[in-house]
């Protein structure tokens, strides 16, 4: 594989990881907190409904998990393509 093909494969994998993280973040923060709140309002979590929980705490917790997951996936991608620090 040429250097340019390797670089393109690396960036395509990088962009794919970013898009997956963005979709998960949008679904959790905007989707469950606002759009799908009426559908999940009957589920109780900590004394309030699930939509409120996602809007107040769940989206923040998922965002933190996404940060660590992204770092782990990028470290693996860097190692696989030989560009680790």
Q: Kindly report, residue by residue over 10-67, the tens digit of the pLDDT.
A: 999 999 999 999 999 999 888 888 888 888 888 887 788 888 888 888 889 999 999 9
Instruction: Indicate whether 25 belongs to any domain.
Output: yes
- Which of 81, 66, 84, 85 is CA-nearest to residue 11? 81
Of 1 and 16, more confident: 16
What's the domain range around 48?
Answer: 3-80
- Number of neighbouring beta carbons within 10 Å of residue 80: 12
Q: What is the pLDDT of residue 18?
A: 96
Q: pTM for this one?
A: 0.79
Quote the tokens at residue 48.
């309030």
Q: Is residue 85 part of a domain?
A: no
Number of H helices and E strands in the chain, helices first, is 4, 2
Domain count, the chain: 1
**Is residue 26 a part of any domain in this protein?**
yes
Residue 67 maps to a domain:
yes
Average pLDDT over every residue of 60-76: 95
Q: Show the beta-strand stretches assigned E in 1-85.
A: 44-45, 48-49
For the record, the structure tokens of 1 come out as 């594989």
pLDDT of residue 53: 82
């Amino acid at each position: 594989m040429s250097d340019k093909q390797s670089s393109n494969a690396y960036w395509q994998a990088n962009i794919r990881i970013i898009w997956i993280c963005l979709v998960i973040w949008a679904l959790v923060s905007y989707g469950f907190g606002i759009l799908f709140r009426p559908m999940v309002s009957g589920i109780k979590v900590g004394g309030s409904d699930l939509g409120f929980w996602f809007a107040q705490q769940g989206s923040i917790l998922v965002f933190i998990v996404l940060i660590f997951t992204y770092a782990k996936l990028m470290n693996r991608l860097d190692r696989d393509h030989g560009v680790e620090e």
